[in-house]
């Protein structure tokens, strides 16, 4: 019989668990970032928002003593030292993915995020206690046309917050993203906002997208199993557990209110740590012609303006995503800006569910 070294196999997981728990809290996250990146905190009556100059991220939202509902990588300092993009939070990318993220776009092979885009070269140019402005520049390769594009970006985050009622608090973030592109832009380019989220205490959470009756989900990476996807009369639900890779899309024609996209995420991290996250915009594509991001599983099929991603178990996160209208050509430039809102509600289960049911009367939750 082989006797395992019990002491070693016990303490390593516990230490890792403690580290993960700490990084979900404001102090622990700030400690993990200390000496690595420039950070700035926006404060409101209800909570705070942590912004990093690195990658122009909203890396955390903290309401009272509750944990961060955003996913954040556990090895932050190591990733930052390597200029890795995948540190978590809310970020700004450009689309379509096929042209800018696959070295072999025809076959959707050799995916990468170009470091000139993310983490890029961002700077905080102005700030107050309630808002912050960041600017960045990038040179991006279009792998499909084998051309290069010069890009200038700006992001503005503004915070407000309130205690809605006893047992429910709200932090609201207004985001304004802008882009100017110069070069040989072929077949369009658009802004793309993504927020990484964590599965809940029970190892799952639910993405909810309000839709019209008869909505037909788009299976971006292949067929999403029935135990992960539910189509109801007024919404689509998608399971987030970070256990298998799937991606969901909803076409602009299936959005409940054309041009006004919204994606919700409901998750429970504890008795008084139930969250409802919302990303919304009134500047979404209204047709397939305005939607640029093709599905890997069916490049000639319908395209989505709202998307959600579930990662594999190596990282264990989900994403809620908004695509915006394509950039408009003005002489030698392509110009785009988009306003969107990130709303974070936190509180007791009953209060959060009551709010959710005002948006979707009978939500299906995984």
pLDDT band at 343 (very low <50, low <70, confident <90, very high): very high
Mean pLDDT of 246-259: 97
Q: Which of 12-21, 124-133, 301-310 has the lowest mean pLDDT?
A: 12-21
Residue 7 confidence (pLDDT) above 90: no
Give per-residue pLDDT as tens, 167-180: 899 999 999 999 99
What does the alpha-carbon distance between residue 189 and residue 149 come to, in Å, rounded to a whole number?
10
Mean pLDDT of 232-236: 98
Mean pLDDT of 129-141: 97
pLDDT band at 2 (very low <50, low <70, confident <90, very high): very low
- Residue 122 has which token pair? 């961002």
What does the alpha-carbon distance between residue 247 and residue 229 come to, in Å, rounded to a whole number?
11
More confident residue, 19 or 313: 313
Give the torsion sign (CA, 344, 248, 251, 365).
Answer: negative
- List, in sequence order, every residue forming a beta bridge with 150; answer none if it has no partner: 139, 182
Q: What percent of the chain has pLDDT over 70?
A: 94
pLDDT band at 336 (very low <50, low <70, confident <90, very high): very high
What does the alpha-carbon distance between residue 64 and residue 171 come to, in Å, rounded to a whole number?
11
Residue 292 confidence (pLDDT) above 90: yes
Residue 89 confidence (pLDDT) above 60: yes
Give per-residue pLDDT as tens, 144-191: 999 999 999 999 999 998 888 888 999 999 999 999 999 989 999 999
- Residue 179 has which token pair? 């882009």
Residue 235 confidence (pLDDT) above 80: yes
Residue 101 confidence (pLDDT) above 60: yes
Which residues, 6+ apart, have CB-to-CB distance to 247 below 8 Å? 219, 220, 221, 307, 308, 309, 310
- pTM, two decimals, is 0.93
Give the H/E segment covering residue 323: strand 318-326
- Residue 30 has which token pair? 């700030």
Determine whether 309 is exposed, middle or buried from the number of CB atoms within 10 Å of its CB (0-12, 13-18, 19+): buried
Q: What is the pLDDT at residue 165?
A: 84
Give the torsion sign (CA, 201, 220, 193, 284).
Answer: negative
What does the alpha-carbon distance between residue 169 and residue 195 come to, in Å, rounded to a whole number?
20
We find that the CATH architecture of domain 6-359 is: Distorted Sandwich (2.70)
Q: What is the pLDDT at residue 161?
A: 84
- Residue 263 has which token pair? 């994606």
| Closest to 218 in 3D by CA, of 289, 287, 301 | 301
Residue 84 confidence (pLDDT) above 50: yes
Q: What is the pLDDT at residue 13?
A: 44
CA distance readout (Å), 8 to 12, 15, 16, 20, 83: 6, 11, 13, 19, 32
Residue 15 confidence (pLDDT) above 50: no
Query: Length of the chain in residues, anyone?
Result: 366
pLDDT band at 3 (very low <50, low <70, confident <90, very high): very low
pLDDT band at 19 (very low <50, low <70, confident <90, very high): low
As a whole number of Å, the end-to-end CA separation of the chain is 43
Residue 212 confidence (pLDDT) above 50: yes
Residue 20 confidence (pLDDT) above 90: no
> Are 110 and 104 in contact, with CB atoms under 8 Å apart?
yes
Please tell me what DSSP assigns to residue 54. Answer: G
């Amino acid at each position: 019989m082989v006797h395992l070294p019990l002491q070693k196999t016990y303490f390593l997981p516990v230490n890792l668990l403690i580290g993960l728990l700490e990084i979900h809290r404001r102090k622990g996250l700030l400690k993990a970032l200390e000496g690595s990146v420039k950070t700035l905190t926006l404060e409101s009556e209800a909570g705070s928002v942590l912004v990093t100059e690195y990658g122009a991220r909203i890396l955390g939202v903290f309401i009272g003593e509750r944990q961060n509902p955003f996913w954040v990588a556990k090895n932050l300092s190591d990733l930052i030292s390597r200029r890795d993009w995948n540190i978590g939070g809310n970020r700004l990318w450009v689309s379509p993915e096929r042209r800018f993220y696959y070295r072999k776009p025809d076959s959707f092979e050799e995916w990468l995020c170009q470091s000139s885009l993310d983490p890029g070269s961002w700077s905080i140019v102005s700030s107050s206690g309630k808002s912050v402005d960041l600017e960045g520049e990038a040179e991006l390769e279009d792998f499909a046309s084998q051309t290069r594009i010069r890009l200038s970006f700006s992001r503005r985050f503004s915070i407000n917050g309130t205690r809605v009622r006893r047992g429910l608090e709200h932090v609201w973030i207004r985001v304004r993203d802008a882009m100017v592109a110069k070069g040989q832009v072929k077949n369009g380019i658009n802004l793309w906002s993504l927020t990484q989220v964590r599965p809940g205490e029970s190892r799952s959470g639910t993405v909810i997208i309000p839709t019209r009756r008869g909505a037909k989900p788009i299976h971006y990476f292949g067929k999403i199993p029935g135990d992960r996807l539910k189509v109801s009369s007024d919404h689509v639900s998608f399971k987030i557990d970070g256990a298998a890779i799937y991606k969901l899309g909803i076409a602009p024609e299936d959005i409940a209110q054309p041009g006004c996209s919204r994606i919700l995420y409901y998750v429970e991290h504890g008795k008084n740590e139930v969250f409802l996250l919302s990303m919304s915009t009134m500047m979404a594509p209204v047709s397939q012609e305005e939607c640029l991001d093709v599905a890997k599983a069916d490049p000639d099929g319908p395209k989505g303006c709202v998307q959600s991603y579930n990662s594999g178990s190596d990282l264990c996160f989900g994403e809620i995503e908004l695509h915006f209208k394509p950039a408009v050509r003005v002489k030698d430039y392509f110009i785009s800006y988009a306003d969107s809102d990130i709303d974070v509600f936190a509180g007791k289960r009953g209060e959060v569910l009551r709010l959710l049911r005002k948006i979707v009367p009978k939500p299906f939750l995984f």
